[in-house]
Structure 1
Amino acid sequence: MMSSRDAATAADPTTWGARNAHDPTVVRGDDGRWYMFSTDAAAGVDEVPAGVHVRTSPDLVEWTFVGTALDGVPAAAFAHSGAAGLWAPEVVRWPSADGSPRWHMYYSASTFGSRTSVIGLATASSPAGPWTDAGPVVTTTHQVDGHNAIDAAVVFDRAGRPWLTYGSFFGGIHILPLDVRTGFAERPGEVGTLIARRPASVDGAVEGAYIVYRPEEDRFVLFVSYDSLFDSYSMRVAVSSSVTGPYLDANGRTLTDVSGGTPDAVGTKILGGHRFPDGTAWIAPGHNSVFRDGDRLFLVHHVRHADDPTRHEAQIRRVHVTASGWPLVSPHPFAGYDSERLRAPEAVSGDWDVVRFDPAERGVAASVRLPVVAAAHTDGQALTTPLIVSASGGPDDADIVLDAVVFGAFDPVAQRPVLAFAGLDAAGVVWTGSKAVTA
């Protein structure tokens, strides 16, 4: 049972850090600070501040809660949805004709299990605000519409045209063009193009979509979350040469394909519930967004503690790309650039704690200690290389050859830099690992 002191601490947002951040997005302001925006949510708190939670950080590691972007749910969004708070804010630097600073926030107002929802727009000259509500962009009604107006994200195509990705469960994920001058839909009332869905056998469980354009491969990468945000979320990716799809996974299957096979067969799973030796068991990582720091790519998502799923927090992970162009994530949360740099180059070959992200696994995948072989050394600088994982780790007792990238990370148990990897096998399954720490 929580003590009165613990309860008072839990209710004080200034003590939260990255705890209680749900559906996060991260941007960097012109003041040099990082800003995290997230859903109005908190565990063990009776009265949660409403109006999009905002945190700031100087280094992407230490986060300080600074309040809400808006003063509760805007009137028009509340009148339609009856929402008690705001969900899944998307914040993006917006182009302006005169070059002046301009930011857009797309927020969601809804209630659980309902398609009576609003995606609204607020604007500001800085992520620090003040934010001014501009009204609804997309609305849906439960008894009328098959799709759902929540979980907005914005991507600019090759020509600089903005697109709004949105949707969840029910009718799947759609994308529609926005007017670059106003930030509203080019054609009001348009549903958009369907780019991802799940079968009815799993209640159509897909949401939290985010698209990033990668000029390095000249293609668009779609991130989505499968299953339940409460206990079984996992993150999937697919790629396309066009912003409107089709989006294909590593096995060439489109994310709109619900015919045949299992409901987990489509979508390349890059992160799910997992645990490393003596570490925290994490479940339901999901609803991510992607951002850059210079040429470095990051992913931010929320995740829950397996021993108490009501506890959730935001984690930031480095994204590294394999030789074949697949963006995969670090097995360990980001703890600062210096913390992931080894003192000297180290052989990649050795014993590793390895996790295989089985696409059908909805619980915690525990790591297994296995030999890994590669003819390479690194001090933590990312390098793409084939890796061979010992036969005992394979589902068919055969050596596993991975299209992998090896990089530095910070082991939160050993409290030191270690080598880590992420890679794809021939079946399109993602493996990740942390090199075993020796005395």
Structure 2
Amino acid sequence: MHDPSLIKVGSCYYGFSTGFEGGPGNGSITIRKTCDTTITTGWTYVGTIWNSVPAWITTRLGSTPPNIWAPDINYFNGQYYLYYGASIWGTNTATMGLATATNIEGPWTDQGEVTNVNYPIDPNVVWGPNNIPYITWGSWTGNGINMHVLDAATGKLSTTDNNLWHIGNGLENSTITSNNGYYYLLGSRGNCCSGVNSTYYTVVGRSTSITGPYLDENGVDLNSGGGTTILTGAGPEVAGGGADIFDDGSVKRLAYHYYDANNAGSETLNVRTLFFGNSARTGAADWINVSAPIYTPITGGTVTVSSSIENFGWLKSTVNDGQESSVSGAMGWSSSNSLTTNHTEWVQLDMGTNKSFSQVKLFPRTDGANKGYGFPIDFTIQLSTDGTNWTTVTTKTATPLPSGAQVYNFSATTARYVKINGTNLRTNPNDQNAYRMQFAEIETSGMNSGNLAVLKPVTASSSYEGSDWFTHRVNDGQKNAVYGSKGWSSNSSLTTNHTESIAIDTGAVQSISKVDLYPRNDSATQLGYGFPIDFTIKVSSDNVNWTTVVTRSAYALPGNSVQSFSFTSQSARYVKITGTNLRSNPNDNNAYRMQLAEIEIY
């Protein structure tokens, strides 16, 4: 999906992207749909917005373009507005058009040209003060990013406000969002569209006015070469760009494309979550940050099997070694064989901790005439949190001989163990018609269960705010108490034990099942001091009503390691740690304080 623009409709997502040259609809904008919560999986082809390129585009450009570029999907006035760019690669002529529909899947009605000023590709609509819509467009091919007010009634440029603002130089693919009095402009720099040789990367600036100026974290105007990098474009996600911000309920997401260096440079969609707080780069307040991709491969795991031949390069340890084909010395896993009896075999991965799974990919053996043999005919995929109680997420029967990787998607499910059970095995006519179950590789993927606390808003009952102890340092990603970032310390009392608390707002109601607390470790004499003796961990969806999920008393002085507290998954937004019996520090006047180097939430 190149130059993706996403919108959530009900419980599903629709993706609009640059058309395929010579493809369906004569290269017009492509529509896809997924109802997977992972967003990046399960996409199905819906169609194109037209069957042919509108004649006015051919007239404007002098010839018919092979495809239509970089759409932007919006919903207002009871219908969908799809803006798009049209040009012919290598020329300096371009136009922007608009299509509308009352149903997201069409039919779409072309509304003609919006503008042909300043190379108007890569349009993006953003709503400003007083519910006034603005549109941005442009590229380094023209004069960078331009902005104009839209007429909300027609979706075309305003005829009463003809101001044209220039808000970013040397950029394209602009997208804007706002938070806490700031507008954030993201755009792509570098070159696209050359596969893994592309040089795209994504930068950001912010402004208190929607029309700019937009300054980076060093105060440099995006019109003057400024721009703080938030997506580097480094491999394996080569040239991450063409970004679009969209709303996923109360959460803001960033959709973008990249060229997958691990998959022959294929154009690939990914999605990250946006959050606001202290900058992950400089610590500056009120900045935009991006999470890790919300959907990511889950690698590794300990393999156990019903049986294993463990010979001739067939080793259970090679079924999740990253080698997706059967090669000498690393063929994959093969069960022991039976020459006469069909039977049941299984292979299981233990990932060590609970993770959110939504996809299993099974790679059949690939060696010569044996290709695909060993892949079971009937089988199930099951998940478990404890290795005892199993949930079946996929059931397959009468599976034909596969010619390539088989992908099985399912609703996101929290689990530690993944098991494939073969209940009807396939004989191999090239090997004595033996019954075996064989895979070259097993890969699993799912929602990124990354730290939900990092750089989110923090409140505390009190805070020392000095000598390298600061509230915002308790979730800055630095797990050790180091110079400049020791973590958070409450105010102290030399005589009185007392109660202190610290809370983190993760930004949205979501599944939370673990809190990690890192004790101070800035010296051998201070190790663990400040960690409370008696404390609770509570969660809340509204910051008013709290549920206690962890209670500890007489907690021993921790060593130099994380203290992890797991509990039954809760739907919550806020997490609060309350110390009710503090620990005095004999190395610091026996003062009573509550101190933590870092808090992580999962």
User: Is TM > 0.5 for Structure 1 vs Structure 2?
Assistant: yes
Residue 71 of structure 2: aligned partner: 89
Task: Report matched runs for 1:40-189 at 5 Å.
Answer: 40-41=19-20, 47=23, 49=25, 50-59=27-36, 60=39, 61-81=41-61, 82=63, 83-94=65-76, 96=77, 101-140=78-117, 147-169=118-140, 170-187=142-159
Residue 254 of structure 1: aligned partner: 221
What code does the residue aligned with 1:386 have? Answer: D
SS in 2 for 1:134: strand
The question of whether the paired residues in 2 share the 8 Å contact of 1:52 and 1:68 is answered with yes
2:227 to 254, 258, 267: 267
What code does the residue aligned with 1:286 have? Answer: G
1:383–1:333 Cα change, 3 Å: closer
Deviation (angstroms), 1:290? 0.6
SS in 2 for 1:109: strand
1:213 to 178, 190, 193: 178
Residue 212 of structure 2: aligned partner: 245
What code does the residue aligned with 1:85 have? Answer: N
1:382 to 429, 450, 453: 453
Deviation (angstroms), 1:291? 1.1
Deviation (angstroms), 1:70? 1.9
Whole-Å Cα distance in 1 between the matches of residues 200 and 242 of structure 2?
A: 8
2:3 to 8, 14, 23: 23
Cα displacement string for residues 215-249 of structure 1 (whole angstroms, at most 9, x for unaligned residues) = xx122110100001131100111111111000111
1:402–1:294 Cα change, 3 Å: farther
Cα displacement string for residues 179-217 of structure 1 (whole angstroms, at most 9, x for unaligned residues) = 11111111399571000003xxxxxxx200011122xx1
Deviation (angstroms), 1:53? 0.5
Whole-Å Cα distance in 2 between the matches of residues 190 and 116 of structure 1?
A: 22
Task: Report matched runs for 1:290-439 at 5 Å.
Answer: 290-306=245-261, 310-323=265-278, 324-334=285-295, 338-339=356-357, 380-384=451-455, 385-388=475-478
Normalising by structure 2, report the TM-score.
0.48
Deviation (angstroms), 1:65? 1.4
What code does the residue aligned with 2:96 have? Answer: I
The question of whether the paired residues in 1 share the 8 Å contact of 2:480 and 2:486 is answered with no
Whole-Å Cα distance in 1 between the matches of residues 120 and 229 of structure 2?
A: 25
Deviation (angstroms), 1:87? 0.4
Cα displacement string for residues 243-298 of structure 1 (whole angstroms, at most 9, x for unaligned residues) = 1000111111110114xxxxxxx2110012335xxxxx221000100112222121
Deviation (angstroms), 1:383? 4.2
Whole-Å Cα distance in 2 between the matches of residues 379 and 55 of structure 1?
A: 28
SS in 2 for 1:274: coil
Whole-Å Cα distance in 2 between the matches of residues 185 and 55 of structure 1?
A: 28
**Farther-moved stretch of structure 1 (266-275 vs 187-196):** 187-196
Cα displacement string for residues 5-33 of structure 1 (whole angstroms, at most 9, x for unaligned residues) = xxxxxxxxxxxxxxxx110010022x532
SS in 1 for 2:292: coil
Whole-Å Cα distance in 2 between the matches of residues 88 and 247 of structure 1?
A: 23
SS in 1 for 2:59: helix
1:388–1:208 Cα change, 3 Å: same
The question of whether the paired residues in 2 share the 8 Å contact of 1:342 and 1:418 is answered with no
Cα displacement string for residues 80-109 of structure 1 (whole angstroms, at most 9, x for unaligned residues) = 123221101111012x2xxxx211110111
Whole-Å Cα distance in 1 between the matches of residues 91 and 176 of structure 2?
A: 25
Residue 436 of structure 1: aligned partner: none
Whole-Å Cα distance in 2 between the matches of residues 302 and 402 of structure 1?
A: 37
Whole-Å Cα distance in 2 between the matches of residues 157 and 197 of structure 1?
A: 21
Segments of 5+ residues of structure 2 without an aligned counterpart are 279-284, 298-354, 358-411, 417-448, 456-474, 488-503, 508-512, 516-602
What code does the residue aligned with 1:22 have? Answer: H
Whole-Å Cα distance in 2 between the matches of residues 160 and 241 of structure 1?
A: 16
The question of whether the paired residues in 2 share the 8 Å contact of 1:155 and 1:212 is answered with yes
SS in 1 for 2:202: strand
Deviation (angstroms), 1:322? 2.6
Deviation (angstroms), 1:47? 3.9
Whole-Å Cα distance in 1 between the matches of residues 273 and 6 of structure 2?
A: 13
The question of whether the paired residues in 2 share the 8 Å contact of 1:342 and 1:380 is answered with no
Deviation (angstroms), 1:406? 11
- Count of residues in Structure 1 that have an aligned counterpart in Structure 2: 316
Deviation (angstroms), 1:48? 5.4
Whole-Å Cα distance in 2 between the matches of residues 190 and 123 of structure 1?
A: 23
Cα displacement string for residues 62-91 of structure 1 (whole angstroms, at most 9, x for unaligned residues) = 211111012232221222123221101111
**Farther-moved stretch of structure 1 (122-131 vs 335-344):** 335-344
Across the aligned residues of Structure 1 and Structure 2, the Cα RMSD in angstroms comes to 3.5
What code does the residue aligned with 2:150 have? Answer: L
1:418–1:39 Cα change, 3 Å: farther
Whole-Å Cα distance in 2 between the matches of residues 402 and 254 of structure 1?
A: 33
Segments of 5+ residues of structure 1 without an aligned counterpart are 1-20, 141-146, 199-205, 259-265, 276-280, 345-377, 392-397, 409-416, 420-439
SS in 2 for 1:135: strand
What code does the residue aligned with 1:39 have? Answer: T
1:406–1:32 Cα change, 3 Å: closer
Deviation (angstroms), 1:332? 2.8
Runs of 4+ in 1 over 6 A off after TM superposition: 340-344, 405-408
Whole-Å Cα distance in 1 between the matches of residues 138 and 480 of structure 2?
A: 41
Residue 16 of structure 2: aligned partner: 37
The question of whether the paired residues in 2 share the 8 Å contact of 1:103 and 1:123 is answered with yes
Residue 355 of structure 1: aligned partner: none
Identity value in percent: 29
What code does the residue aligned with 2:57 have? Answer: A
User: Which of 1 and 2 has higher RCO (CA within 8 Å, sep 6+)?
Assistant: 1
Deviation (angstroms), 1:314? 1.2
Residue 534 of structure 2: aligned partner: none
Whole-Å Cα distance in 1 between the matches of residues 212 and 87 of structure 2?
A: 27
SS in 2 for 1:387: coil
Whole-Å Cα distance in 2 between the matches of residues 132 and 27 of structure 1?
A: 19
Whole-Å Cα distance in 1 between the matches of residues 13 and 486 of structure 2?
A: 35
Whole-Å Cα distance in 2 between the matches of residues 48 and 287 of structure 1?
A: 22
Residue 195 of structure 1: aligned partner: 167
The question of whether the paired residues in 1 share the 8 Å contact of 2:7 and 2:73 is answered with yes
Whole-Å Cα distance in 1 between the matches of residues 189 and 35 of structure 2?
A: 32
Residue 238 of structure 2: aligned partner: 283
The question of whether the paired residues in 2 share the 8 Å contact of 1:341 and 1:379 is answered with no
